[in-house]
Structure 1
Amino acid sequence: MPTHLPADPAGGSPVSSYLYRRGRQVLPGGLTRSTVDLDPHPIYMAGGKGAYVTDVDGRRYLDLNNNFTTLVHGHAYEPVADAVAQFLRKGTCFAYPTEHEIALAELLVDRIPAIEQVRFVNTGTEAVMFAVKAARAFTGRSAIARFAGAYHGAYDWAENGQNGSISQGSIRRGGTYRGAPESVADDVVVLDFNRIEGLDEGLAAHAGRLAAILIDPMPSRAGLLAPLPQFLEQVTRFARANGTLIIADEVLNLRQSYQGASARFGLEPDLVTAGKIIGGGFPIGAIGGRADVMDVFSSRGKSPGVTQGGTFAANPVSMIAGLAAMQAMTPEAFVRLETMGDDLRSRLAQAALSHGAQFAITGSASLFRIHPKAKPPRTYADALMTAGETVRMRRLARSFLEAGILLPFGAAACLSTPMQDSDIDAIVHTFERFLEDHTEAHKECRS
């Protein structure tokens, strides 16, 4: 890095600005993830400890992103760091299994009611991809149903329908990128989360060819929507009556409780995908579920119905880190996070109400989202932001950033175990200050 940095056109973050200009020379758009916020350039991080991160310009922030809800224990969690450090001199990965994958699998099987057996992969995208393949192999059918707006990774069939308009019972045509095969949409039925009207008809029209219904029990990207019990009951009733499997995508929402999201909300899936918190900050994904369905992956004495490998699948570093992180997530740890989350959501909602501001709060357990809406959205269509609402949310995110808090834009924010009551106070006070400024500015515009 040069001693004398060029001036930062945006002002205030010379090192981050320099790194972004440097990155654009060798990386498409300057980055390797399209989910990184650019306002006007990304913030480059130097490190983190506990609930806080420090950027390359020396600024410290309370982290409500935690690598998109992955770091349930925050940054540089010592039990994970110690366990990984002790193992690293023995190796990093092997072509053969280690006992560490068994230990993490045993923990998941013991905790998650729907999981009888597990296969590990490297990402949430892979977990969903192989869960869909397993459902196809088990049922002999090719089509899946999913709900508009929910994010399930980058597998063509899983991402088809995550954006765009909603058409009850219809198949969404086209993919999420230019050139995506239109034929993919022929095997994807897109419906609206929480909308009971037309659900049976939309599913029934394709009953004979639906291998699975792919559902995030509380879809974050679609608005962190609380599932209606009768909606989940209707999905389950159809699946059981028509031999269709239910895939619960809990890559993000496994942090909902000690037993995960499905158990919390009363869903009984055949397959569960997991990731994020189960890796302790290292790359991971997992497919779990009924033993008879998971048997499609088995090659013992036969050719597997679905061949699943991966050079780094079940690598011991991720297994060891994940085990240390999950062992520390006791029932008491989940309760403490949920208590803080309940307090935060209640105080944020009360602040909006007392200021007469059109902001609503969604979420549960350690997750929350602030919406520029008069009331919490129930469906994906309700959660979509207008241009004006987008501007308001961008102002809110900037206000938090200026106060030293990283609030994700258009995604779930999350709490982590090292957070204290003082951190919750800081979040609420920052929101209140924004509302006060927003109210005063609105008054000035009207006068």
Structure 2
Amino acid sequence: MGASQQERSALEVIMDLLQQKWVYELFGEIGARQKASAAHVEELREVDAAAHVFWPFQAPPFPIITKSASGSTLTDIDGNTYLDCHMGYGAQALHGHNPEPVVEFVRERLATGTGNGYTSELELELANLLREITPHNEKFVFQHSGTGATQGAIRLCRAHTGRRMVAKFEGTLHGSHDLAVHNTAPWYHGHPALPFPKINPDGTMPLISAYTGVLPAEPRDLLILPYDTAQAVALIERHADELACVLTEPAASSFPFEETTIPMIREVAIASRRLGVPFILDEVLTGFRSGLGGAAQKWDIPTDLTTYGKVISGLGLPLSAIGGRADILDHTQTSGQAFTDYGQKTGLQGSHTGNYLSVAASIATLRLQQSKGPGYYTELRAKVDRVQARLAEFRSQHGIPLRMVGFGDYVGCFQFLPSDSYTDYRVYSRELNPATFMLSLLLRKRDIYMLGMPLWFAGSAHTDADVDRMTDAVLESTLELAANDFPFDLAWPATDGPAWEDDGSWS
């Protein structure tokens, strides 16, 4: 059977699954309990094109419209209350929804701040707090989102070096700006509909995501590194004079195996420093979660710039940061003389950067995390280990390949996989079961909220009882899948995409 026929067969399995009686019954049950949410979504569709419920490839089936949240619980407009494992893509993971010390700190400042367009004394307080927590950073630039932080870091490195090319690893997820969405996570990249390109000595072909409207990157703009330390270092050495920066994740959400990625990233960071190529560590996911000082501090990864997002914020208020070397960050700091700045500086400031309430919420959130100390991470790791032990016992007892893969403290994804760990990103991507969204739907009817992909962003708001309740629901839901002959071993075949031609073009 050819590869394309295999792909069609995999898709046919999913289509057959969706037409089974038990699936119709499940859809009907969830639809009945979410009637108000469904009606609201349809009204929203008429006037709002970019709400989270409309995010391509990311929006959960049967989206809910939220009404309130507190700690680890979430309530929708139908009155359903869920144990929330999503936690705003992890942005509320540290302390849960609306932690009282953060709410109170922000409430005290609601009627006193300027909002945006000014600099308050709180910005200095936050910058000093961040430097205390992450002493490997000399200065900081505040932005709105993780996407803005990685995009800004690239611009700063280009300004600093005068070079253009950016190197990133295949499969890494650095936000939604144009360079970031090339060769990104498989669900954005379009795999298996868009096969992986061949890995050649000259690098991997830059592929845009399944998002339309993104212009293809030129080879002089983007260098795609394979998950191979020797090849990655060799490519960086070859292009050192062209590279503005190397942009990496310490543990990619699309390849969540620290035992593979951390040693590789550290070697790449050391090589980049030796070659004089600025190294950006994207800690939007791992910052303050892989220990208070993040992955850079935990694993002694030398960085030039580090990007932060997600939990740096509080109460879901938009905030991100770029930290690192002063000489690079100073490319966006005025000299105080406009005629001296002209043509010599780059701008990252905007109307809402350094927003008063966002900065206030961040100070309160990070202070609270700091006060919890190392015990926070020890306790959370114990919860994660208990889940992993129960899953191992379940696999042994039932022979069902249910695993939770993830990193840090903690981003866990429940998947049906034949192996505990992977060294090859492409093999892992092919073995991701595309029908795992059915697990999320079965959890929904058990009042556990996850996205389409069953993700658990853990934190202190999840009590031991919450964790046991979630695990019970995952195991019960998996047995329900088994009782309905769910295809646990559904995977995509290996297929070859474009490759380099002898003249340097792509075939």
Larger displacement relative to structure 2 (39-48 or 54-63): 39-48
Answer whether contact 1:355 1:439 (CA < 8 A) is retained. no
* Counterpart-to-counterpart distance in 1, 2:45 and 2:180: 30
* Counterpart-to-counterpart distance in 2, 1:185 and 1:22: 44
* Counterpart-to-counterpart distance in 2, 1:182 and 1:103: 42
Output the amino acid matched with 1:405: I
Answer whether contact 1:226 1:362 (CA < 8 A) is retained. no
Correspondence for 1:374 = 418
In the TM superposition, residue 29 of structure 1 has moved relative to its aligned partner by: 7.3
Answer whether contact 2:72 2:461 (CA < 8 A) is retained. yes
In structure 2, the CA distance between the partners of 1:160 and 1:442, relative to structure 1 (3 Å rule), is closer
- Which of 255, 258, 261 pairs up with 1:226? 258
**Residue 434 (structure 2) pairs with residue 390 (structure 1):** yes
- Which of 370, 390, 400 pairs up with 2:443? 400
TM-score, normalisation: structure 1: 0.90
Output the amino acid matched with 1:126: G
Output the amino acid matched with 2:255: G
* Counterpart-to-counterpart distance in 2, 1:10 and 1:366: 31
Q: Tell me, what secondary structure is at the counterpart of 1:182?
A: coil
Q: 1:122-141, aligned counterparts within 5 Å? A: 122-141=144-163
In the TM superposition, residue 196 of structure 1 has moved relative to its aligned partner by: 2.8
Output the amino acid matched with 1:366: Y
Q: 1:260-409, aligned counterparts within 5 Å? A: 260-280=294-314, 281-301=316-336, 302-303=340-341, 305-330=345-370, 331=373, 332-364=375-407, 365-375=409-419, 376-385=421-430, 389-391=433-435, 393-409=436-452
Q: Tell me, what secondary structure is at the counterpart of 1:144?
A: strand
In the TM superposition, residue 421 of structure 1 has moved relative to its aligned partner by: 0.6
Q: Tell me, what secondary structure is at the counterpart of 1:156?
A: coil
**Residue 214 (structure 2) pairs with residue 180 (structure 1):** yes
Q: Tell me, what secondary structure is at the counterpart of 1:329?
A: helix
Answer whether contact 1:369 1:412 (CA < 8 A) is retained. yes
Output the amino acid matched with 2:426: A
Correspondence for 1:256 = 290
Correspondence for 1:68 = 89
In the TM superposition, residue 45 of structure 1 has moved relative to its aligned partner by: 0.5
Output the amino acid matched with 2:90: T
Correspondence for 2:461 = 418
In structure 2, the CA distance between the partners of 1:352 and 1:427, relative to structure 1 (3 Å rule), is farther
Residues 232-277 of structure 1: CA deviation (Å, up to 9, x unaligned): 2431232022211110111111122111122223321110000111
Answer whether contact 1:145 1:190 (CA < 8 A) is retained. yes
* Counterpart-to-counterpart distance in 1, 2:452 and 2:359: 31
Answer whether contact 2:59 2:451 (CA < 8 A) is retained. no
In the TM superposition, residue 401 of structure 1 has moved relative to its aligned partner by: 1.2
- Which of 42, 54, 67 pairs up with 1:21? 42
Q: 1:166-205, aligned counterparts within 5 Å? A: 166-168=197-199, 169-176=202-209, 177-193=211-227, 195-205=228-238
Output the amino acid matched with 1:339: A
* Counterpart-to-counterpart distance in 2, 1:345 and 1:29: 36
Q: Tell me, what secondary structure is at the counterpart of 2:88?
A: helix
In the TM superposition, residue 426 of structure 1 has moved relative to its aligned partner by: 0.9
In the TM superposition, residue 33 of structure 1 has moved relative to its aligned partner by: 5.3
Aligned length: 435
* Counterpart-to-counterpart distance in 1, 2:238 and 2:395: 43
Residues 67-108 of structure 1: CA deviation (Å, up to 9, x unaligned): 001002111211111111111111341432111111111111
**Residue 115 (structure 2) pairs with residue 93 (structure 1):** yes
The CA RMSD over aligned residues, in Å, is 2.6
In the TM superposition, residue 20 of structure 1 has moved relative to its aligned partner by: 1.0
**Residue 102 (structure 2) pairs with residue 80 (structure 1):** yes
Answer whether contact 1:114 1:272 (CA < 8 A) is retained. no
In the TM superposition, residue 49 of structure 1 has moved relative to its aligned partner by: 0.7
Q: Tell me, what secondary structure is at the counterpart of 1:214?
A: strand
Answer whether contact 1:175 1:185 (CA < 8 A) is retained. no
Larger displacement relative to structure 2 (87-96 or 422-431): 87-96
Higher relative contact order (CA 8 A, sep 6+): 2
**Residue 235 (structure 2) pairs with residue 213 (structure 1):** no
5+ residue gaps in structure 1?
Answer: 1-6
Correspondence for 1:144 = 166
- Which of 115, 119, 122 pairs up with 2:141? 119
5+ residue gaps in structure 2?
Answer: 1-27, 489-507
Q: Tell me, what secondary structure is at the counterpart of 2:223?
A: strand
Q: Tell me, what secondary structure is at the counterpart of 1:158?
A: coil
Q: Tell me, what secondary structure is at the counterpart of 2:359?
A: helix
* Counterpart-to-counterpart distance in 2, 1:91 and 1:444: 55
* Counterpart-to-counterpart distance in 1, 2:219 and 2:83: 41
- Which of 424, 428, 431 pairs up with 2:474? 431
Residues 197-224 of structure 1: CA deviation (Å, up to 9, x unaligned): 522333333222111111111111x132
Correspondence for 1:3 = none
Q: Tell me, what secondary structure is at the counterpart of 1:409?
A: coil
Q: Tell me, what secondary structure is at the counterpart of 1:68?
A: coil
Output the amino acid matched with 1:18: A
In structure 2, the CA distance between the partners of 1:371 and 1:166, relative to structure 1 (3 Å rule), is farther
In structure 2, the CA distance between the partners of 1:306 and 1:150, relative to structure 1 (3 Å rule), is same
Answer whether contact 1:92 1:317 (CA < 8 A) is retained. no
- Which of 77, 80, 93 pairs up with 1:56? 77
